[in-house]
Amino acid sequence: MQRRNFLAAPLMTSALMQGQTKPKTPPMAEKIKAFGMEWAVISAADWKVEGNEVQLVTARPQQADPRRPIQFALAETEPLEKFTLEVEVRRSKPKGSLILVYAWQRDGYFNYVHLSDDAPSKVEVHNGIFHCYGGDRVRISPKDGPAGILNDEWHKVKVVFDGKKGLVEAWVNGQTSGALKGADLSLTSGRIGFGSFFNTAGFRNWKLTR
């Protein structure tokens, strides 16, 4: 009996270790066409494109370990070191949030602007600039300022990124705040994208100036 228990132990340990394996990010294996560009996505069925408007119609659970967003469309372009982005956005209702990705270099290594109806002083992981570097997302902007998008109407958003300086700043309807100003010198260029952490959202009138 002792020998059988001894032989079974490695098998049990192996099974436990397999059960604790971290989930892999689903590959961006499909593409959509929008705003005159191609975008890599996990599933094209999650998105609806009508003219100059794109709707993210399927919310995917946020990645749990590490904790970071995965549901976004990633532009099929060369890495951008500097750009100005203007776009109109609409969050889901009655509550919701959305993200604008920048400086994406590879899976798990990117930054993003998060906009929601929560004030950053109350929910520190909402409404600000965030950094992913192989682990959980972390905030890289202050918590000073109001909520970004208080309702489910369309809002004009502007994002300016300068990789040489490591700076990004965002405006919503012409207004910015400390929460929408971030700095990062580890990801100074990369691809851009749009999506949400775990909600649906709308995007239209995308204008990118390089």
Region 131-137 average pLDDT: 96
SS3 call for 177 = coil
Segment 17-43 mean pLDDT: 83
Q: Decide: pTM greater than 0.75.
A: yes
Share of the chain above pLDDT 70, in %: 88
Residue 39 main-chain phi, psi, to 5 deg: -130, 135
- Percentage helix, strand, coil, to 5, in the chain? 10, 45, 40
pLDDT of 6 strictly over 70: no
| Average model confidence (pLDDT) across the chain | 90
Tokens of residue 197, six digits? 């952490």
On the CB side of 76, how many CA atoms lie within 13 Å of its CA? 14
C-alpha separations of 7 from 4, 16, 17 in Å: 5, 15, 17
Helix (H, G, I), strand (E, B) or coil at 13: helix
Whole-number pLDDT of residue 63: 65
Mean pLDDT over 92-106 rounds to 96
Between 64 and 111, whose confidence is greater?
Answer: 111
Residue type, 100: L
97 pLDDT more than 60: yes
Residues in the chain: 210
Which residue ranges form the domains of the chain, and what is each CATH number? 25-209 (2.60.120.560)
pLDDT tens digits, residue range 59-86?
987 667 899 999 999 999 999 999 999 9
What is the C-alpha separation between 80 and 111, in angstroms, rounded?
A: 13
Q: Is 189 exposed, middle or buried (0-12, 13-18, 19+ CB in 10 A)?
A: middle
CA dist 140 and 158 (Å) reads: 18
pLDDT at 4 over 50: no
Instruction: Tell me the C-alpha distance between 102 and 67, whole Å.
Output: 18
Q: What would you measure as the largest C-alpha separation in the chain, in angstroms?
A: 74
Q: What is the CA radius of gyration of the chain?
A: 19
DSSP string, 111-140: EEEEEESS-TTT-TTSSEEEEEESSS-EE-
Q: Which of 28, 40, 112 lies closest to 69 in space, CA to CA?
A: 112
Burial class (CB in 10 A: 0-12, 13-18, 19+), 2: exposed
